[in-house]
Amino acid sequence: MRRHGFVRVATSTPKSRTADVAYNVAGILAEAERAHEAGVDLVVYPELCISSYAIDDLHLQSALLDAVETGLGEIVAASGKFDPVLLVGAPLRHNGRIYNCAAVVARGRLLGVIPKSFLPNYREYYEKRWFAHGREIKGMEIAVAGSVVPFGTDLIFAAENLPGFRLFVEICEDYWSPTPPSTRGALAGATVLANLSASNITIGKSDERHLLARAQSSRAVAAYLYCASGHGESTTDLAWDGQGMIYELGDLLAESERFSLHAELCIADVDCERILAERARMQTFNDAAEAAGRPEDSFRTITFELAPTGGDRGLVRATRRFPFVPNRQHRLDEDCYEAFNIQVDGLMRRLESTHAKSMVIGVSGGLDSTHALIVAAKCCDRLGLPRSTIRGYTMPGFATSDHTKSNAWKLMKALGITAEEIDIRPAATRMLEDMRHPFAAGEPVHDVTFENVQAGLRTDYLFRLAGHHSGFVIGTGDLSELALGWCTYGVGDQMSHYAVNSGVPKTLIQYLIRWAVSTEQFDSATDEVLLSILDTEISPELVPPGESGEIQSTESIIGPYELNDFFLHHTIRWGQRPSKIAFLAWHAWRDARAGLWPAGFPEAEKNEYDLATIRHWLENFLRRFFGFSQFKRSAIPNGPKVSAGGALSPRGDWRAPSDAVADVWLAELRDALPPADG
């Protein structure tokens, strides 16, 4: 995980007792040992965890403050036997003032101390009664626990042996302020933002904390760790829930149990490399850093070395098998609603702007044309047009099965569109004869030319029919096919007047069709056909069945779409190197029994893949994606972007040369993950 830029972080709510410094120190060290055994690199504790938070005027007692400093010294000394960096909260004295502080401790050293910037003094809070704010403390030092260390809000702690791991610390109210200090910390280069908090619990406050942590991790393009005080704080007038949570770029990675009587350790692996890649992509982040006066020039960097890992520690992080498909049912419903309506709205606008009298579409009985057709049908419904505006054509060729042809007809009839059939075999035979292709002479030669003659004729017919009926051709090809170059260029399925599916990957199309059925977008007769189509093996049906009757299988040639869509997402959205994609894919797909599957996923289709299989199909993906299919994407028709995961339009998300080669990506994969037989 270290090799791929991951750092293992945790929030900890230790056992505590109000104003009992010795008890609290013991609880902190017990959790440090537990984190050490779990291979954690960083532990964030609650605010003022050494002294307790809710002790009011006891913060002003010298005996307590002396005990806190002694306790911090004990933690520093004991930390030498633990691997994690520890962030502990303590009231500390400096120049006749008391500050609410976070102390950064690493393997026997106190690295630095950060004072709280914003002190709440409203409703139940009275922090200004005891503490001085630290907003202007920069470039200073503090003497504490026998050491003189950097002190201020201008500190970033950087791991020398994990370049992406750069830490900034703030305290509780700081991230409730309109200008959280962590914003400048992120702009100065910190990738991990940590918050030591007390934050008593009231109804709805957990949601508020989630809102702030999610927003800050997203806006600051960072990871955000939040840890609140729990059981053991004084309940004189307040209560505590011990909430810990870890966010990365707006995604919740882990959350602790709340209201627990036991110590809580919430662990997740944060991807610092992904954070830096997103910042490089997002020029707004760099502009904000410049507008803020380049904080990186004034912040101090405190370096430390993470403990050696001693081998593979696995990955404590949920990695979605289907990054384009949500795992949770309510998210699935929401995302499918949005995706479907993005497509419908785009097609409506194109129909309005062209003043077309018809929409022409080839209907094969496969997934893509089915989905494009139901989008067109809903477009007609919303515009108040008869569905007969859609002119659907099924065009059987040399390998068209009775099953898919039957489904195509059933679907067109159920939707009430204008339906016709054109047998392309006579025209294809004539073309093959004119070309003197061996198939025309009776030889069973089913090469690319044989396939493209059929694919090209279908598209040619559709374009001429569109001209004949004052309409335009709706493209059915999807995002996954564009990524792999699995389409016939020019006069073929790569071309249309409007490519309604070009922003939707194959794995999501299946869910969009299921969603249309489950939410009753159409009638029961249509639903029955849709379900039958979902159960049909994916095939281009361009090559006749073999002697044993097996049909041409797309996935046996280009690989499982579920893997290809995984590779695609991590390539175009995050720009990750192939070895890291293989690492993530292995953790996502190696065990079908582990992790979440999308809601309602068929049990029989829950596949798993070993590393050799992943490597094989990833290499195939890299060759196809980077090596020879870009020229097809550079000339694709208009079509709406649907997923935040990205699109491949040369006018939008993906701009690449048609003459590039895949050598760099293949070499990186080969060097990091040699073939099993090599």
Binding residues for ATP: 362-369, 476
Q: Is 334 marked active-site? A: no
- Which one of 15, 116, 405, 506 is the catalytic residue? 116
Closest to 175 (Cα-Cα) out of 123, 138, 227 = 227
Q: Which of 49, 101, 172, 227 is catalytic?
A: 172
Distance, in Å, from the CA atom of 153 to the CA atom of 116, rounded to the nearest integer, reads: 8
Catalytic: 336? no
Binding residues: 122, 199, 205, 362-369, 452, 476, 481, 486-489, 632
| φ, ψ dihedrals at 117, nearest 5° | -85, -45
Q: Which two tokens stand for residue 92?
A: 């500390």
- Residues 251, 211: Cα–Cα separation, whole Å: 11
Residue 517: C-alpha distances to residues 341, 411, 527, 533 (Å): 15, 13, 5, 12
Specify whether 47 is catalytic.
yes
Annotated binding site for deamido-NAD(+): 452, 481, 486-489, 632
DSSP string of 488-524, one letter each residue: --SSSTT--SEETTTT--HHHHHHHHHHHHHTTSS-H
In the numeric block, which tokens belong to residue 41? 């690199």
Supply the DSSP symbol for 614: H
What phi and psi values does residue 72 have, to the nearest 5 degrees?
Answer: -65, -40
Interatomic CA distance for residues 73 and 59, integer angstroms: 18
Considering only CA atoms, give the Rg of the chain: 30
Strand partners, 90: 101
Contact 568, 560 (CB under 8 A): no
449 CB burial (10 A radius; 0-12, 13-18, 19+): middle
Q: Which residues are annotated as a binding site for L-glutamine?
A: 122, 199, 205
- Strand, coil or helix: 145: coil
Under 8 Å between Cβ of 250 and 221: no
Q: How many other C-beta atoms can be found within 10 angstroms of the C-beta atom of residue 115?
A: 26
Q: Determine contact, residues 564/570, Cβ cutoff 8 Å.
A: no
Please identify which of the residues 15, 31, 47, 170 carries the catalytic annotation: 47
Euclidean distance between CA atoms 78 and 35, whole angstroms: 14
Catalytic residues: 47, 116, 172
